[in-house]
Amino acid sequence: MNESPAESSSRRDFLATAAAAALAGSALSACAAEGSKAVATHAGAPAHGGGLFRAPAIPKVRIGYVGAGLQGSGHIANLLKIPGCEIVAVCDIVPAKVERVQKEVEAAGFKQPKGFSKGPTDYERLCQEDLDLVYTATPWEFHVPVMLAAMKNGKHAATEVPMGYHTEDIWSLVETSEKLQKHCVMMENCCYGRTEMTILHMVRKGVFGELLHCEGGYLHDLRAIKFENANEGLWRRAHARQRNCNLYPTHGLGPVAQCMNINRGDRFDYLVSMSSKTRGLELYAKEHFPDSDPRRSEKFKLGDVNVSLIRTVNGCTIYLGHNCDSARPYSRINTVQGTKAIATGYPDRIYIEGVSPNDEWEPIEKYTAQWDHPLWKREEEKSKGAGHGGMDFLEDLRLIENLNKGEPLDQDVYDGAAWSVMGPLSERSVAENGRPQDVPDFTRGAWKTRPPLEILGV
């Protein structure tokens, strides 16, 4: 069934309400399942001038932080150490978390930030404050409404991953960002991993030859976390009950998309996706909880293993995996195959034709001294101790640095949109027995001329 523009915009208007209802466990069903929803046309609107978007420089970025949970608290700790910004407001539905952050900010020598904890839509009041940037690390269902509220109130918006999980919501972020000339950035920390940046450096300098194929994924046994009565256990499992797809596509896809110059010379063309049967979460509940525990009777839609394949317009292929409910060690795969070399992860290995011993993998660390990315060389000391091996600090640092200077952000709204949309597109492909799904060109043609990402000259 086609969705008219009026239906589409009224659905967006009700997003905040729907998101609020999420806490009662109903928001996911309040949004139509992607598989049953047609996508409107978005032709003709100008992409940010067809190039990279720059906003006026902001010497001191005044930040309103929304969502002081596990990941948000890490970002807040990073931001307190980064010059050129100040946390002036903080919002969480849990008042104690707001109070904790207020104390942390004061202890770091800043003025106490204004607190907002009057319920699940109180971020709307925060967005009306005198701020430059609203940065959110809330559950997924709040990313779109928080960012829309931020931009509509004249602020730049940054979010944890994914940016959104309905194609129309992602379009609404792109269009709002363009119309209001505000940054709308998804913060994909894995793009700042040391290995990922070393590989990006080598790709840029031609070590891999021409790229042909990449692989990425999010393969992380989250069964215990999903069933906790705290933190992500309060919201993440609900997505597995209601969606069968690649639920968390951006950690694996972001870094390889940067190597492949997606949206900057190439773009995703189409995707096919299949999911295995669902077993892990139901088994886990039966093995870990007593008969009386309601979690034992939960039913899940999410296949334990999702396998998606993407082809780009320039003829490259990408394998994208998702596997969070099975017994397995962690991996984001991180494979980059060019005509002259291949790197792959977990453990990190590389083979370079004519350099590595014939037909043998070498540890990638052998090449770190030569190909370490200049950002890592510059910031290694400061990133020590920060979340996820330091990459979270680097992503926050680059965000603030670029806002301070009025430079384009490393990841922009088109990157976040193209990486996130693999969630809803895979959902639809799975629902249609693996039928190919065209990937929207969020840049509307600008991908042909947008320059490749450059960080500190690389």
Which of 93, 240, 343, 400 touches ligand NAD by CB under 6 A?
93
238 sits near ligand NAD (criterion: CB under 6 A) = no
Classify residue 96 as left (phi > 0), alpha (psi -120 to 50) or beta. alpha
Which stretch in 3-11, 197-205, 229-237, 316-324 sits in contact with ligand NAD by CB under 6 A?
229-237
Q: How many residues does the chain have?
A: 458
Classify residue 321 as left (phi > 0), alpha (psi -120 to 50) or beta. beta
Both structure tokens of 37: 């929803």
Question: What's the CA gap between 288 and 297, in Å, rounded?
Answer: 13
Of 418, 439, 423, nearest in space to 35 by CA: 423
Q: Is the dihedral of CA 434, 342, 439, 161 positive or negative?
A: positive
CB 142 within 8 A of CB 136: yes
Closest distance between ligand NAD and the C-beta of residue 423, in Å?
Answer: 12
Of 126, 128, 133, nearest in space to 84 by CA: 133
232 sits near ligand NAD (criterion: CB under 6 A) = yes
Closest distance between ligand NAD and the C-beta of residue 137, in Å?
Answer: 4
317 sits near ligand NAD (criterion: CB under 6 A) = no
Question: What's the CA gap between 148 and 47, in Å, rounded?
Answer: 18
67 sits near ligand NAD (criterion: CB under 6 A) = yes
Which stretch in 138-146, 147-155, 174-182, 450-458 sits in contact with ligand NAD by CB under 6 A?
138-146
Which of 113, 115, 120, 254 touches ligand NAD by CB under 6 A?
120
Cβ neighbour number for residue 190 with a 10 Å cutoff: 23
Q: Which is nearer to ligand NAD, 161 or 422 (CB)?
A: 161
72 sits near ligand NAD (criterion: CB under 6 A) = yes
134 sits near ligand NAD (criterion: CB under 6 A) = no
139 sits near ligand NAD (criterion: CB under 6 A) = yes
137 sits near ligand NAD (criterion: CB under 6 A) = yes
* Residue numbers 360-419 binding ligand NAD by CB under 6 A: 388
Closest distance between ligand NAD and the C-beta of residue 190, in Å?
Answer: 7
224 sits near ligand NAD (criterion: CB under 6 A) = no
Which stretch in 41-49, 137-145, 177-185, 371-379 sits in contact with ligand NAD by CB under 6 A?
137-145
Closest distance between ligand NAD and the C-beta of residue 120, in Å?
Answer: 4
The residue at minimum Cβ distance from ligand NAD is: 69
Closest distance between ligand NAD and the C-beta of residue 160, in Å?
Answer: 3
Query: What residues pair up with 272 in beta bridges, in sequence order?
Result: 309
Phi, psi of 271 (to 5 degrees): -135, 145
92 sits near ligand NAD (criterion: CB under 6 A) = yes
Distance (Å) of CA 329 to CA 95, 221, 253, 332: 36, 7, 19, 10
Q: Which is nearer to ligand NAD, 197 or 309 (CB)?
A: 197
Q: How does 57-81 read in b/e, with b if 16+ C-beta sit within 10 Å? A: ebeebbbbbbbbbebbbbbbbbbbe
CB 198 within 8 A of CB 350: no
66 sits near ligand NAD (criterion: CB under 6 A) = yes
Question: What's the CA gap between 322 and 275, in Å, rounded?
Answer: 9
Closest distance between ligand NAD and the C-beta of residue 338, in Å?
Answer: 27
102 sits near ligand NAD (criterion: CB under 6 A) = no
Closest distance between ligand NAD and the C-beta of residue 227, in Å?
Answer: 14
Does the N-terminal peptide bond of residue 347 adopt cis geometry, omega within 30 degrees of 0?
yes
65 sits near ligand NAD (criterion: CB under 6 A) = no
* Binding letters toward ligand NAD, positions 178-217, x by CB under 6 A: -----------x----------------------------
Instruction: Give Dmax over CA atoms of the chain in angstroms.
Output: 63
Q: Which is nearer to ligand NAD, 138 or 334 (CB)?
A: 138
Amino acid at position 310, single letter: I
CB 226 within 8 A of CB 326: no
Does the N-terminal peptide bond of residue 162 adopt cis geometry, omega within 30 degrees of 0?
yes
Which stretch in 139-147, 194-202, 302-310, 397-405 sits in contact with ligand NAD by CB under 6 A?
139-147
Residue keyed to tokens 């609404």: 172
Q: Which is nearer to ligand NAD, 420 or 443 (CB)?
A: 420
Count residues near ligand NAD (CB under 6 A): 26
Chain residues binding ligand NAD by CB under 6 A are: 66-72, 91-94, 97, 120, 123, 137-140, 142, 160-161, 189, 231-232, 234, 388
